[in-house]
Amino acid sequence: MNTVIDVKDLCKTYVVNKKQNNVLKNVNFSIDEGEMVAVMGPSGSGKSTLLYTVSGMDKMTAGSVNFCGKELSGLSDNEMADIRLDEMGFIFQQMYMMKNLTILDNIILPAIKSKKKGESRSAVEKRGRALMKKLGIEETAENDINEVSGGQLQRACICRSMINRPKVIFADEPTGALNRTASKEVMDEMIRLNNEGTTVMLVTHDAGVAAKCGRVLYIVDGNIRGEYRLGKLEKAEEIRDRERKLSNWLMEMGW
């Protein structure tokens, strides 16, 4: 397996009111191609900061992040933007979308901005609609973002994250703002993407969500305290057992 993310001695420090706050302290881990990794930990442990720093959305203070062979710390803002556009996909807890665009236009916008693929606009539209159909929201294509439900919007966000066929999808509590049904639908889509070969790194508080991932990293006070390998989810029936095992491990870790 190829390593797509290799994090070494990653540090992130915020200075607030002249006080130094070390949010990430020498974090080391790697993620292989096709993996689905969950990051868990108590509130304020640095989960989201880790996700944003690894994905280049936030600058690291020290250390290195190697993304598909490219060292992110040395990249300029524009180079980083190109990587985010073409090789990364993002899903956030809040379903952030451009208010003045329809759902379909929001989804295809990154593809239109991407110069890599050189597709015609109609081809992009076709691909956007196909993705929407796959996620069951094709009927919302021409809707404004305030005309659909939270679950539909989050699935639209997944479509947008997928539109440029990224190598890795970063998801920050993708089900955090959704009810149980919508949450299940979204996670099912994520698993399907992962099964199709897309690497996923997600942050979650929900053991049920994490139990669907192949590996769980547990972070406390900016340090990775441990990791738990669950392996690929093969059958839906396994989920209860996986969740129980993970919960036991989390309790051992002080969850």
Q: Which residues bind another protein (CB under 8 A)?
A: 52, 57-58, 77-78, 81-86, 88, 90, 92, 94, 96-102, 104-105, 108-110, 112-114, 121-122, 124-125, 128, 142, 144-147, 160
Nearest approach, Cβ of 100 to another protein (angstroms)?
4
Residue whose CB is less far from another protein, 43 or 100: 100
Nearest approach, Cβ of 166 to another protein (angstroms)?
10
Neighbours of 28 (CB within 10 A): 12
Q: What is the DSSP string of 17-53?
A: TTEEEEEEEEEEEEEETT-EEEEE-STTSSHHHHHHH
Residue whose CB is less far from another protein, 143 or 247: 143
Nearest approach, Cβ of 2 to another protein (angstroms)?
22
Residue whose CB is less far from another protein, 58 or 227: 58
Residue whose CB is less far from another protein, 133 or 244: 133
| Cα gap 144→166, rounded to integer Å | 25
What is the maximum alpha-carbon separation in the chain? 53
Neighbours of 212 (CB within 10 A): 26
Nearest approach, Cβ of 94 to another protein (angstroms)?
7
Q: Is the dihedral of CA 181, 188, 54, 105 positive or negative?
A: negative
